[in-house]
Structures are given as C-alpha cells and as structure tokens.
Structure 1
Amino acid sequence: MSRKSILITVGLLAVLGLYYLFSEAPQPVDVTAAETGTVKAFIEERAKTSLPRIYRIAMPLNGRVMPITVQEDEKVTQGQVIAEMDTSDLDAEVAKARYRVEQYARKIIEQSDNRLEDNSLDQFDEFLKSMNLTVEAASKQQDASKAKWTYARDEYDRKYQLFQKNALSASELSEADLFKKQSEIDYQKDILTWRALQAIQSAMQIGKISIQKYKEKKVLSEAVLQEEKKEAESQLEQLQRDRNRATMRSPIDGTVLAKHFSNERTLPAGEILLELGQLDNLEVEADVLSQYVGNIHVGSPVDIEGPAIGPDPVQGKVKRIYPKGFTKISSLGVEQQRVKVIIGFDRNIFKQLQQQQRTLGTDFRVRVKIYTDIKPDVVKVSRSTLFRNGSGQWQAYVVRNNRTVLVDVEPGVMNDFEAEIKTGIKAGDRLIVAPSMNLTSGQSVEPHLIKNLERSPAD
C-alpha cells in the first residue's frame, strides 16, 4: 500500500469517527430508581458461637480414673455422677485417719479423768489434818519434857548443895541425879519425836503438791492431745474431701461438650476429663477491627447468619465489648488490631433453631452484621450509583428525558449496598449504575431499568 493510500484510509476513519461522535446516538446504560425506605450502616465480620462459661471437669488429684461412660452431646443434670476415680487407696487412708482421731479421743478421755488424783488429795488433806494435830501434841509433849528436865536439873543442884553441907545423904543425891538424867533423856526423845513428825508432815505436804503438779501436767498433756486431735481431724477432713472429690459430679444442668478420655487410666491432678456447658446460654463472639468498635454500643442490633443458622438470619444484640484489644494476623498476613465483641441471641431464638432441628453448638462459624446506625423513611439509592469527583465531592448521574444530568449529592448513612441521600436526589429519580468514566453530562442515553439492584439481605 502506498503512502497516499494510507493517508486516505486514516482520513476516512477520522471522518467516520467524528460522524458517530456528533451524531448523538443514544448510549445504553443501566439505571435504578431512588426510593424511600430504611438504610442501615453495619459492620460485617466473621464470628463464632461461644459460651460465657465452659465447666471443665478435671482430675482432683493424682490417681486412676475409671471408664467414663457419658458421651458428647449427652444431657446431664446437676449432681449427676459423670466420672469416678479408683478410691481403694483413699478409703484405706480415710480409715487410718479416722482410727487416729479415735485414739486421740480415748487418750483425751483418760487424761481428763482426775478421780484418782482427787481422791488422793482428799485423803492427803485428812492425813495432814491428823498430822497437824499430832505434831502439835508432840510439840506440847516436848515442852512438858523440857520443863520436867529443867525441874529435875534444878532439884539436883539444890540437893547437891545440901549434900555438900552434909544435910543430904549420898543415896538421895544419887536418886536426884538419876531423875535428872531420865528427864533429860525423855526430853531428847520428845524432841526427836516432834521433829520426826514434822518431817512426816512436810513429806505429806510435798506429796499433796506432787499430786497437784501431776494434775496440772495432765491438763497440759490434754491440751497437747487436743491439738494433735485437731490436726488428725484436719487430715481426716482433707482425706474425706479428696474421697468426695474422687466422685466427680456435674455442677450444672447442661450438655457434655467434649470428652478427652474414655478408658481407665492413671492421670495427674488437673488433667481435663470433660467439658460441660449450657447451650441455652449460647452467644456469638466476633473480633472487630478496633477503628470500628467506637461505633458499636451495648444493645446494638445484630443479624446473625450463615449455613449453621439457616437460609434466614436471626437477630441478636451486642451484650459486651471488651475493654482491651489484641493483635491478630489476617488471612493475608496483615497485622490487625481487633477488639472482642460478644453478641447475644434475641429471646427464644435459640429455642426456635432447636425446633427447626438446627444443631448449633459452641465454636460454630457464623457471620454477623452489627448495625451502627439505622435511618428509617429516607431517600435511598444503590451504593454503586455514587462516586467522588477529583475534589472529593459525592456525585451521581441522573437520567432525565433520556439525557444524563450530573448532580452533587450529600449522602448520609450508607453501607456496601445502599446509601441515604440527604440532598440532590429525590425518590423516583433514575440513577445510572456504575457510570462509565467517558460519560458526560447532557449525553443522550438509552436507560435500562434494573430493579432490586444489590439489595441488602437485611431488608
């Protein structure tokens, strides 16, 4: 092809393009009508069902657990035996501890029996009374013997003076000397008797004191035995508690969520055997991005949906928002800061699901829509009809008389499907869906009306 031919062809194509451009042939577009209704702003997240509390039945102490017969999903009642340990060793320990307590009780009874000591003290008191009188009599006897001896000594001295004057015979003097010596001997004997009786009196007093000290010692021994008995009773109570704990009972009316062991085996204390829960208290747990949590409040309405729920979503409300966030890695490997939000089912919803034979348990995957704002009776349009211009102003193309009109709009509450329009559009206006970048205001178009475009499932 020659250069001239190429130029002619290009010229023809240019003329042809200008013809089509200025011929104002209508461009086909999809449109949807603005209408009056309710617009809801929501946060959508993946979530899972959970329970506010899971009761974990664990081994109370080291030992051997017997076979566990309850099964997952089995209903249990409060107080029902759900697991047991082999208690033969515990039973023997309890019997030994009980015997020790009984032994201490018998010893305490023996130590508290003071009848023998009291009788002995009474006898000592009587003996001491008699001994006191005897010592007093011996004291008076030795006083009399002393007076007799003094008299005999003075009588001998008088007779001796008479003998020196030859006024008394030698035999009479000898008789006086014999009387003096006998009196002295009697006096010495009475002194020895009095002192011997005093010694016996002291010995009896010491014996009484010894019995009293022995009683005091028995009181102290009884106190020691009481403390030892308390310690033995404490050990018995601990063993009895362990024995009672060895029979594990359900703390609630609920359902067996998980069973970790079935057969008999030896396990350490603290090993989890069963997990129980009350499915009537089932709730939903969602991890929401922290930047969105500020728009959520306790009581905010929620739609709960997913295959586990069924074809229609069920309703719930936000029960609790955790005060502390945490870091979570997304499926794309992005580090995100999230906050846990707890959602409760509306009243009787869970029972309705059960009546529909929907098996819903804990840790089931669901999706939630947490509504942060709801505007009823407003002008709303499809979210795909709105766009921003270079300066950030929201705009839309409205079709009037089969020509496009570019209008500025002020949106309000919006979600991924719909948007509230405060100004710029009225109900009944037809808006172009996903307008082309080549579209201009005043351009002739051929509209094709689309109904229920991207309608939110919440409606």
Structure 2
Amino acid sequence: MFRRLLIGLVIIAVISAAAWALWPRPVAVDVATIGRHSIEIFAEDEGKTRIRNVFTVSAPISGQMQRLGLEAGDQVIAQETVVATIRPVAPALLDARSRRVAEAAVAAARAAVDLASAELRQAEAQLRFLQGELQRATALVRRGTISERAFEKAKLDAETASAAVESAKAAHMVRQRELESAEAALVQGRDTGSDGECCAEVLAPVSGRVLRVLTESEQVVQAGMPLVEIGDPADIEIVADILSRDAVRIVQGAAASVIGWGGPPLAARVLRVEPSATTKVSALGIEEQRVNVVLNLDGDPKRWEKLGHGFRVVVRIELWRGDNLVTVPIGALFRVGADWAVYVIADSRAHLRLVTLGERNSDLAEIQSGLSVDEQVILHPSDLVADGTRVSANTAD
C-alpha cells in the first residue's frame, strides 16, 4: 500500500514538473511610455567657410615683377601697402647679325650728326657774313651811296641766313636724337633699374589680410595676371551643399548650428538658399541634386576667430520643429503591410495596434492617431512577440 502511494506521489511530481516546464512564460520586453515631447528635424551635411568678399589683385600692366614680400596672413592697408612692384621688361638679346646691323645704324647716325654739325657751322658763317654786309649797307644808305633797293636786298639776305641757321640747328637736333635711338637698340638687359619712375607699384585695394599668394617669385607677368588674394577674415560666412529635397524646406532665417570644426558648436542663421542646383555624385556613385545654402554665424566673432577661408565644417539646419507633441520612440514602430504599427501592453499582454504618423526624426515620431499619452509600447519587438502574447515589461527611459 505504502509502495503504491509513493509511486503515485512520484508520478504526480513528474507531471507537475513537466507542466511547469511546458507552461508558456511571459516574454521579457523593453517598454516605453507614450508622452509629449518636442520634435526637431534637421538637415546635416558638410560645408566650408569662405570670406564674404575676396579681392584678387592682378597685374595692371605687363612687365618684370619683383619677388613679392607678402606672405599669407600678412596685414595690408588700403592704398598704402605695396603688393607688387613691376618694372619694364629687359630688352631682348641681340644675335650677331642684329648687333652688326644695329652698330651700322649707330655709325650712320653719327655720320649724319657730323654732317648736320658741318651744315650748321656753314649756315652760321654765312649768317655772320651777311650780317656784316647788312651793317655796311645800313651805313651807306644813310649817306645815300646805295639805293634803297640794295639795302632791302642786304636785309633780306641776312634774315634768310638767320632762318637757315635755325633750320640747321633743328636738323642737327633731329640727327642727334636719331643717334640716341640707334644707340638704344644696342642696350642689353643690364640697365633694368627697379627704383624711381621706371616702376609701377600695385597697392592693396582694401584693408584686410593676405589669403593666398598666387604669384610669388620674380617673373615676367602679363596684364591681368592674378598676384594675391585679399580679404577680411572677420567677415566670414558658411556655404553648405544640401540635398534639394531638404533645401525646399529651408527658409531664410532658419536656425542652424555649426559643428565638427574643431571647437564648440556655433550658432548660425540661414542667409539665403541659392535658386539653382548642381549635380554631384555621392560616394556610392549616385547622382544627387544639391543646392548651396549660405549661413551667417551668430554671436561673438572671437568664438570663431580661428576659422579661416575654405575650412571644413558640419552644419545642422533646422527644417521643422514641433512642441508638445504626442510622440513614440522610433524603436517601437514596425510595418504591417503599408501601415505603421506598435505593440501596446495591456493586462500584461501585447496588443497589435495600427498608428498614423506625422513628422519624425531619428529618435521620435509624431502620433496623429492610434495612441494616447501614458500608454506603454514595446521597444524593438522580437519574433517571440505577437498579438496577445503575455509579456513582462522592463521600463526603458
């Protein structure tokens, strides 16, 4: 009898243990409570800084530019700081044939000067003789020895001789200048002085700092050749190329922040959204339409005084903001066909519920219908969770 009772107790214990082991246990899940929060949607992308007004100083004339004494970062003052000095280009070297031709031209010019000098002396001698004749004729006409006509003839001859002297002097001057011109053709590239009136000084058009030295070494430059870039580092703005689908939501004056530049976040405002887009290829090889968005930095300029021209930054531009919205964590949402759904916990069981969403970001989504404040939803539901499944909740923040 006792043995049968013992066997019965063992059988009951085994059945109870099996029933306990096979009895479905609640699925442990993380849950979150539906509440009211603010949602902010941002467009985040890389950008770069740029000085608002960059002045490129170019060579105003062609010539031999001396080596620039400026370096990037140097301070310049408008209409005072000499950016560059340009002198005339040295004459070309003469080959043997050209030199002989030039030397022959010099010799011919010297001979012409000698000829003009002789003609001048001849004219001066003729003038002295005729002036003496005029003096004698004057004395004779007073005494009535010669006729008035003879006196007038002597006077005319003297005046003609005087004009001949002036003509000979002018001819001598012309021949002298021709000699100087011929001698100048023999000048080589030695007399290229860089001081005085021979040189043109290029002054800084505005006050600021040198951003880049484009042409530094001494060399021959052509008119219009860029030499340096000048700008004011304090007058800085930021330009970022944003996807066109985000750019259409950006308004002038929208709040933004600048991060990833090596310092603390900086406040900024959208100055303008450019009206045209450009096609760029992403790292994945996908063509994208991007629009330049220009931003102004807000606050004390000393906070970004280390930022220069062309520095890389990351910008976050506010596209939309909503306050006091009923929100659900993104991790609680999943798709059921074309609809969004969540698992709501009620009476320790999971209940499938379809929801309608509004705006959303990477953390929260706006609930337009389907959920109420203080309801609990399951975060990241696994395959073990289904409609009606018993669950045990672990509250998440």
TM range (shorter): 0.5 to 0.7
- Please point out which of 292, 302, 325 is paired with 2:256: 302
8 Å Cα contact 1:60/1:245 also seen in 2: no
- Measured against aligned partners, the alpha-carbon deviations of 1:299-340 in whole angstroms (never above 9, x if no partner) come to 12212211x152x42221211111111111111111112221
* SS state at 1:379 partner: strand
Cα shift readout 1:348-394 (whole Å, capped 9, x = no counterpart): 2533233xxxx21122222222212110122223222222210x222
1:316 is aligned to 2:263: no
Distance in 2, matches of 1:19 and 1:413, equals 49
| Separation of aligned partners in 1, 2:362 and 2:28 | 25
Distance in 1 between the 2:346 and 2:326 partners?
18
Give distance in 2, aligned partners of 1:79 and 1:408.
Answer: 72
Match of 2:381 among 424, 435, 444: 435
- Aligned mates of 2:77, 2:86 — CA distance in 1: 23
Q: Is 1:353 aligned to 2:298, yes or no?
A: no
Do residues 329 (structure 1) and 275 (structure 2) align? no
2:265 aligns to what SS in structure 1?
A: strand
* Residue number in structure 2 paired with 1:197: none
- Gapped regions of structure 1 (runs ≥ 5): 1-17, 91-242, 452-459
Q: Distance in 2 between matches of 1:317 and 1:244?
A: 51
Change in CA separation of 1:23 and 1:57 when aligned onto 2, cut-off 3 Å: farther
Secondary structure (helix, strand or coil) at the match of 1:256 reads: strand
Report the AA paired with residue 208 of structure 2.
Answer: G
State whether residues 278 and 289 of structure 2, in contact with CA within 8 Å, keep that contact through their aligned partners in structure 1.
yes
Aligned equivalent of 2:360, options 384, 395, 414: 414
- Give the match's secondary structure for 1:352: helix
Selected match of 1:253 from 207, 219, 237:
207
Measure, in 2, the Cα distance between the counterparts of 1:446 and 1:381: 20
What does residue 209 of structure 1 align with? none
Give the match's secondary structure for 2:38: strand
Q: What residue identity is the alignment partner of 1:331?
A: A
Structure 2 match to 1:283: 237
Tell me which amino acid in the other structure corresponds to 1:296. I
- 1:432: Cα distance to partner? 2.3
> What's the counterpart of residue 218 of structure 1?
none
**Deviation at 1:404?**
2.0
Counterpart-to-counterpart distance in 2, 1:274 and 1:322: 28
User: Residues 414 and 89 of structure 1: is their aligned pair in 2 closer, same or farther, counting only changes over 3 Å?
Assistant: same
Aligned residue for 1:62?
62
Name the counterpart of 1:339: 291
Distance 2:198 2:348 in 1: 86
Please say if residues 396 and 406 of structure 1, whose CA atoms lie closer than 8 Å, have aligned partners that are also in contact.
yes
Q: Does 1:75 align with 2:26?
A: no
More helix by share: 1
- Aligned-residue identity in percent: 28
1:239 match:
none
1:233-276 CA deviation, whole Å, 9 max, x = no partner? Answer: xxxxxxxxxx8994222233322211123332222222222112
Alpha-carbon shift at residue 82 of structure 1 (Å): 4.2
SS of 1:425's equivalent in the other structure is coil
For 2:352 and 2:52, how far apart are their aligned partners in 1?
Answer: 53
**1:385 and 2:332 are equivalent in the alignment:** yes
1: CA distance between counterparts of 2:34 and 2:63?
Answer: 73
- Once the two structures are TM-superposed, the CA of residue 88 in structure 1 deviates from its matched residue by 5.8
Q: Secondary structure at the match of 1:292?
A: helix
Paired residue for 1:46? 46
Preserved contact between residue 327 and residue 335 of structure 1 (Cα < 8 Å): yes
Aligned pair in 2 of structure 1 residues 324, 401: CA closer, same or farther (>3 Å)?
A: same
User: Which letter maps to 1:324?
Assistant: S
The CA deviation string for residues 57-94 of structure 1, in whole angstroms up to 9 with x for no partner, is 1222222222222221233332332422233679xxxx
Query: For residue 372 of structure 1, what is the aligned residue in structure 2?
Result: 319
| Cα contact 1:68–1:82 (8 A) shared by 2 | no
Gap change, CA 1:267 and 1:429, over 3 Å in 2: farther
Point out the structure with the larger strand share: 2
Aligned AA for 1:275? E
Q: In structure 2, do the counterparts of structure 1 residues 62 and 411 end up closer, same or farther at CA, with 3 Å as the change threshold?
A: same
The structure whose Rg is larger is 1
> What's the offset of the Cα at 1:24?
2.7
Match of 2:393 in 1: 447
Q: Is 1:396 paired with 2:342?
A: yes
- 1:389-443 CA distance string (max 9 Å, x none): 10x2222223345432322222222112222223333344333222224421222
Give the stretch that moved more between structures: 71-80 or 371-380.
71-80
Q: Following the alignment from structure 2 to structure 1, what is the Cα–Cα distance between the partners of residues 383 and 361? A: 23
Give the root-mean-square deviation of aligned CA atoms: 2.9
Hey, what's the Cα distance between the residues in 2 that align with 1:353 and 1:77?
A: 23
Contact 1:293 1:339 in 2 (8 A): yes
Structure 2 residue aligned with 1:292, among 243, 246, 253?
246
Distance in 1 between the 2:371 and 2:199 partners? 72
Counterpart contact for 1:31–1:450, Cα < 8 Å: yes
Contact 1:65 1:264 in 2 (8 A): yes
Quote the offset at 1:22 in angstroms: 6.9
Matches within 5 A, 1:188-267: 246-267=200-221
Structure 2 residue runs of 5 or longer lacking an equivalent are: 1-17, 91-196
What secondary structure does 1:86 align onto?
strand
TM-score by length of 1: 0.54
1:278-308 per-residue CA deviation (whole Å, 9 max, x = no partner) reads: 22221221112222322111112212211x1
**Does the CA contact (< 8 Å) of 2:345 and 2:377 recur in 1?**
yes
Distance 1:38 1:309 in 2: 29
Residues 52 and 438 of structure 1: CA distance in aligned 2, closer, same or farther (over 3 Å): farther
CA contact (8 A) 2:329 2:363 kept: yes
